Amino acid sequence: MTRTILITGASRGIGRAAAILCGRRGWSVGVNYAGNEQAAMATVTAVEEAGGKSIAIQGDVAIEADVIRMFEATEKAFGPITGVVNNAGIVAPGMKLADMTAERFTRMFAVNVTGAYLVARETARRMGTDRGGKGGSLVNLSSAAARLGSPNEYVDYAGSKGAIDSMTIGLSKELAPVGIRVNAIRPGLIDTDIHASGGAPDRAFRLASMVPLARPGTADEVANAILWLLSDESAYVTGALLDVSGGR
């Protein structure tokens, strides 16, 4: 059965890998991105080559009007959305909390918390059977940082992901009666561009010795878990926080 899925931050990394796996199932995917149009267009092409349909939608998840527009554009192109991957997220350079600026906190929480909550709210408004939706699955990208705390590095980021865990638990109960399952994935060290954006491109490999499976994970390995949570194969799973972290 064909499905319409919206993935935030799907131009690169984990979101891109999930979009391509959706394409392999013949699903239609709204590929949101922040600024890298070239990467977003490459994802669209890859989804189409995999057998799905796709459009790219620029938008900042921290801006309410952009979030509404990305849902509208996806539904206009492909019909009612039945799956959302709340994936867009940022880190910032590693440092102690004592050295962080208020501007850094503002942006971190605007994207990772307010952005994710706006995407979750639109999902509830559009997919809830109480509001004319068809029900479906919301998959939130948390992080192992939510339970590790990321001392000396990303205590702000870790807290932003803690909020995602709490939202997942509450919203899974709130939306179960209206046909929406809500789960979170907590990736560990995954080899994507996110580490370079925090100023440490080799971070996933440098810290690999702390991982029981002794290596970083790949975006595809996280995407496989996302696809399982989107699909009916996980029909009895809601409110789960699924670690995809090599045992860390």
Catalogue the active-site residues.
157
Question: Which tokens go with 134?
Answer: 């068809």
- Choice between 15 and 128, CB closer to ligand NAP: 15
* 197 near ligand NAP, rule: CB under 6 A: yes
- Our CB check for ligand NAP shows the closer of 129 and 197 to be 197
- Quick check: 11 binds ligand NAP (CB under 6 A)? yes
Binding of residue 208 to ligand NAP (CB under 6 A): no
By beta-carbon proximity to ligand NAP, the closer residue of 150 and 234 is 150
Nearest to 203 by CA among 242, 151, 153: 153
Q: Is 61 in the site for ligand NAP (CB under 6 A)?
A: yes
SS (H, E, C) 137-177: EEEEECCCHHHHCCCCCCHHHHHHHHHHHHHHHHHHHHHHH
Q: Which of residues 143-182 bind ligand NAP (CB under 6 A)?
A: 143
Does 64 help bind ligand NAP (rule: CB under 6 A)? no
CB atoms inside a 10 Å sphere around CB 213: 12
Q: What are phi and psi of 152, to 5 degrees?
A: 70, 0
Q: Does 189 bind ligand NAP (CB under 6 A)?
A: yes
- Give the whole-angstrom CA distance, residue 49 versus residue 46: 5
The tokens for 88 are: 């867009």
For position 194 contacting ligand NAP by CB under 6 A, the verdict is: yes
User: Which range, of 54-62, 97-105, 166-174, 230-238, touches ligand NAP by CB under 6 A?
Assistant: 54-62
Q: Please give the sequence-ordered ranges of beta strands (E in DSSP) within 171-230, or none if there are none.
A: 180-187
Q: Which of 25, 66, 31 is nearest to 45 (CA)?
A: 31
89 contributes a contact to ligand NAP by CB under 6 A: yes
Q: Given the rule CB under 6 A, which residues bind ligand NAP?
A: 8-15, 32-36, 39, 60-62, 87-90, 111, 115, 141, 143, 187, 189-190, 192-194, 197, 204
